[in-house]
Amino acid sequence: MLDSFRRGWAGVREDVDAALDRDPATTSRLEMVLASPGLHAVWAHRVSHALWRRGARLPARVLSQVTRSVTGIEIHPGARIGRRFFIDHGMGVVIGETAEVGDDVMLYHGVTLGGRSMARVKRHPTVGDGVTMGAGARVLGPVVVGNGAQVGANAVVVKDVPAHAIATGVPARIRLPQRQEDPLEALYAEPALWI
């Protein structure tokens, strides 16, 4: 029991540290803990996901809906979320039941990890480690977004994105950054460089 508590507390500290690293507008741990809807949604999801895995599906869904009402962020209890996950601003984020999100992922407001099928299959995205998704991005269906990839604001992704690639536009076009290219600058590259 004590080990479980220590692991849980270490995870909370890790989440707060990751959030502080990614949010230059926050000046203290206390501010982050008290005023970050993204962190609150992630913490509530960790509880609802544990309930879901233990077969307590109704309480898990109720908790996720209460969290949605409070934070504006909807994460289905069945979704699998990695470590140091951070949602900046948060409002309007939706993560579907079969979504899988890796470690060190950052989402901005309005991101949807949604499905394109009503079948009871893997119908939501798999997001690798170290991925960043801009505001309003939509990743739809059982696509894979590779490690270190970036999805630009308002992009609509309906096919796999390779590791360390950049996806922007509607529908998203994929490109690999050139050597020595700043990843943020790569989001604004000339169209000739796109594949």
Which positions are catalytic? 109
The rounded Cα 86 to chain-centroid distance in angstroms is 7
User: CA 61, CA 102: separation in Å to the nearest integer?
Assistant: 22
Strands (E), the chain: 74-75, 80-81, 86-87, 94-95, 100-101, 106-107, 112-114, 126-127, 132-133, 138-140, 144-145, 150-151, 156-157, 166-168, 173-175
* Residue tagged 């000739």 (tokens): 192
User: CA 29, CA 35: separation in Å to the nearest integer?
Assistant: 10
64 close to 50: Cβ distance less than 8 angstroms: no
Question: Which amino acid would we find at residue 38?
Answer: G
Question: Which amino acid would we find at residue 90?
Answer: G
